[in-house]
DNA sequence: ATAATGTTTCGGCACGGGCCGAAGCATCGA
DNA sequence: TCGATGCTTCGGCCCGTGCCGAAACATTAT
């Protein structure tokens, strides 16, 4: 082993099917109980318990005992990004996974990526925002323009408050299904939250899938994607 | 297993110490022979051969037979990014690797990250470029300003040509040793190339370490870091 | 209390896979 | 043509570890 961080122990943890399954299930950023994760991975509770202990020990997860339940979540956004990075390689990896489940299309269309939106809709959103000048995309890097800030403020997202957070405002996140970038960071999270609050889309129970309603999709596109400058008076 | 790319096989490959060692050795972007990788990992040639075959099969590596040698390299930048992402988690992961080798300080100071510079010098470079207005850093996102483009053109880097490439020009890459960002992407690669061409630094044989000469470091800083001032707040 | 549910610890089994010895192919240099 | 070098394939050993049964522990409900 040459010098530098030792990646083998971390990767080995992710490399077990049962553990990978649990981590994937946690990718939506929510906390699940140990029992739920055990069922998710298809192993007995004892086995899952052992896995979770090791992953917490390694800093991949955080566990919080509450009553007789044990809530488990990813230790941080960095872990999520690592998992997405591995997914990016996995999806390229030769044989593209023999059987694509029936839910696969829905998952590619819209899903939660840690705490922001990913999938076709998310990629469309980002590219539309860039096209209308709300975001400035130079290569893979994103910057919110003044126009964009105004757009989101009008929409009801408090950009100024978001800026005070230590969390990056805009982050381009590589979408494993689209192979293009979508919007992450604090702004990405805020947008997804707004989508849920307005009922434009709902999460499918027990999955990462985000399903837009027909009306919600229309409104979503009207707000960000289309518009062009048809009614320039609307903004500010 | 829920739906989505199956990360376990990829992570399992990285999770073996010998294979992780080989991958880490390839992180500098160069191709190494199977034999060199075997010695690097401390395993017999047959063992290494098996590992390499599996990793190629999975799309992590590319092998190219040339004469009686077999040259091996990472399959692409995406694989490198995945490895860096895992390193980022590994370095956070509780115990920070018991014994830090004697070369560790040099590695932290300057090293090759796939094809651009990483380490203290690289972080210093990025922050200086931002401070003088050559790059615009909003959160984690980087954009080359007009002033910055002029700076690099004067320096001898052909920004216009770089822009024509499909590769992102500026990419912020999280530095595992500094826990801050350094400059990657096409521009980052071009800068490192220029540093070598001008003899400001040399690679230490057989490692990722980049050692600046005393004079080279002075010139490097004069070109990018110091100088100071230059632009007022020319935010676009 | 007693029972039910959820989680953890312990112990032992069994399978997968990493490892090397031996041998088989290629290529390069006399 | 003949050895030397580098890589690969095959076969068998063996250690690591994922798995579950059994049981202990903790919390909540009846």
- The 10s digit of each residue's pLDDT in A164-178 is 776 678 876 666 666
For residues A142 and A197, membership in a common domain is answered with yes
Last residue of a domain, one of B78, B96, B121: B78
Find the mean pLDDT for residues B151-179. 77
Q: Is residue A135 part of a domain?
A: yes
| A16 vs B158, higher pLDDT | A16
Q: How many domains does one find in chain A?
A: 2
Residues of B in contact with A40 (CB under 8 A): 2
Q: Looking at residue A96, what is its pLDDT?
A: 46
Find the mean pLDDT for residues B212-220. 91
Last residue of a domain, one of B36, B61, B78: B78
Q: CA angle, corner A111, sides to A108 and A114, nearest 5?
A: 130
Q: Which tokens go with B156?
A: 């001898």
Nucleotide nearest to B72 (CA to C1'): D7
For residues B110 and B71, membership in a common domain is answered with no
| A136 vs A7, higher pLDDT | A7
Q: Looking at residue B5, what is its pLDDT?
A: 86
Q: Is the pLDDT of residue A10 over 80?
A: yes
Predicted confidence band of residue B35 (pLDDT cuts 50, 70, 90)? very high
Q: Looking at residue B98, what is its pLDDT?
A: 39
Residue A56 belongs to domain with CATH number: 1.10.10.10
For residues B65 and B111, membership in a common domain is answered with no
Find the mean pLDDT for residues B34-53. 94
The beta-carbon neighbor of A20 closest among B11, B19, B60 is B11
* Sequence-distant contacts of B51-58: CB under 8 A, at least 24 apart: B51/B16, B51/B18, B51/B19, B51/B22, B52/B22, B54/B13, B55/B13, B55/B19, B55/B22, B55/B23, B57/A94, B58/A93, B58/A94, B58/B9, B58/B10, B58/B13
For residues A127 and A229, membership in a common domain is answered with yes
Closest alpha carbon to C1' of D27, residue = A68
How far, in Å, CA of B57 to CA of B54, rounded?
Answer: 5
For residues B208 and B130, membership in a common domain is answered with yes
The listed range with the strongest mean pLDDT (A9-13, A176-180, A197-201, B148-152) is A9-13
For residues B45 and B109, membership in a common domain is answered with no
Find the mean pLDDT for residues A84-96. 78
Q: Looking at residue A21, what is its pLDDT?
A: 95
The beta-carbon neighbor of B86 closest among A10, A111, A140 is A10
DSSP element (H, E) containing A170: none
Q: How far is the CA of B222 from the C1' of D19 (A)?
A: 61
Predicted confidence band of residue B89 (pLDDT cuts 50, 70, 90)? very high
For residues A158 and A57, membership in a common domain is answered with no
Range with the poorest average pLDDT among A19-33, B85-99, B134-148: B85-99
Q: Looking at residue B50, what is its pLDDT?
A: 94
Percent of chain B with pLDDT over 90: 31
How many CB atoms lie under 10 A from the CB of residue A132? 18
Predicted confidence band of residue B174 (pLDDT cuts 50, 70, 90)? low
Q: Is residue B43 part of a domain?
A: yes
Find the mean pLDDT for residues B55-76. 87
Q: Is the pLDDT of residue A47 over 90?
A: yes
How far, in Å, CA of A152 to CA of A144, rounded?
Answer: 10
Q: Looking at residue B126, what is its pLDDT?
A: 87
Q: Looking at residue A88, what is its pLDDT?
A: 87
Q: Is residue B208 part of a domain?
A: yes
For residues B199 and B155, membership in a common domain is answered with yes
- Which domain range does residue A153 map to? 104-234
CA–CA distances in Å: residue A186 to residues A60, A100, A165, A178, B225 = 22, 32, 8, 21, 31
The listed range with the strongest mean pLDDT (A111-120, A200-209, A219-228, B12-21) is B12-21
Residues of A in contact with B101 (CB under 8 A): 3
Range with the poorest average pLDDT among A73-82, A163-172, B207-216: A163-172
Closest C-alpha among A178, A62, A156, A61 to residue A111? A178
For residues A71 and A125, membership in a common domain is answered with no
| B105 vs A184, higher pLDDT | A184
CA–CA distances in Å: residue B173 to residues A46, A96, B85, B200 = 39, 28, 9, 22
Instruction: Classify residue B107 by burial, with Cβ atoms within 10 Å: 0-12, 13-18, 19+.
Output: buried
Q: Is the pLDDT of residue A231 over 50?
A: no
Residues of B in contact with A168 (CB under 8 A): 139-141
Nucleotide nearest to A44 (CA to C1'): D20
Find the mean pLDDT for residues A179-204. 84
* Sequence-distant contacts of A64-72: CB under 8 A, at least 24 apart: A64/A31, A69/A33, A69/A34, A69/A35, A70/A33, A70/A34, A71/A31, A71/A32, A71/A33, A72/A22, A72/A26, A72/A31, A72/A32, A72/A33, A72/A34, A72/A37
Q: Looking at residue A180, what is its pLDDT?
A: 61
For residues A220 and A108, membership in a common domain is answered with yes
For residues A143 and A224, membership in a common domain is answered with yes
For residues A110 and A224, membership in a common domain is answered with yes
């Amino acid at each position: 082993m040459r010098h530098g961080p030792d990646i083998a122990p971390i990767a080995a943890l992710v490399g077990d099917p049962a553990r990978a399954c649990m981590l994937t299930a946690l990718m939506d950023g929510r906390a699940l109980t140990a029992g739920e994760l055990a069922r998710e991975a298809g192993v007995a509770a004892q086995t899952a318990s052992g896995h979770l202990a090791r992953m917490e020990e390694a800093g991949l997860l955080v566990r919080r005992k509450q009553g007789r339940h044990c809530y488990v979540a990813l230790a941080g956004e960095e872990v999520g990004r690592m998992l997405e990075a591995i997914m990016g390689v996995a999806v390229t990896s030769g044989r593209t996974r023999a059987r694509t489940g029936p839910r696969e299309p829905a998952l590619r269309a819209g899903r939660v990526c840690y705490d922001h939106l990913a999938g076709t809709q998310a990629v469309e959103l980002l590219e539309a925002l860039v096209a209308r000048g709300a975001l400035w995309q130079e290569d893979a890097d994103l910057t919110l323009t003044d126009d964009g800030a105004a757009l989101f403020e009008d929409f009801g997202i408090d950009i100024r408050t978001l800026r005070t957070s230590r969390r990056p405002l805009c982050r381009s996140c590589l979408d494993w299904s689209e192979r293009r970038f979508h919007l992450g960071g604090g702004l990405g999270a805020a947008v997804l939250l707004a989508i849920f609050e307005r009922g434009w889309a709902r999460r499918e129970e027990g999955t990462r899938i985000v399903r837009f309603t027909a009306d919600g999709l229309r409104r979503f596109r009207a707000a960000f994607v289309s518009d062009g400058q048809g009614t320039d008076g609307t903004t500010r």
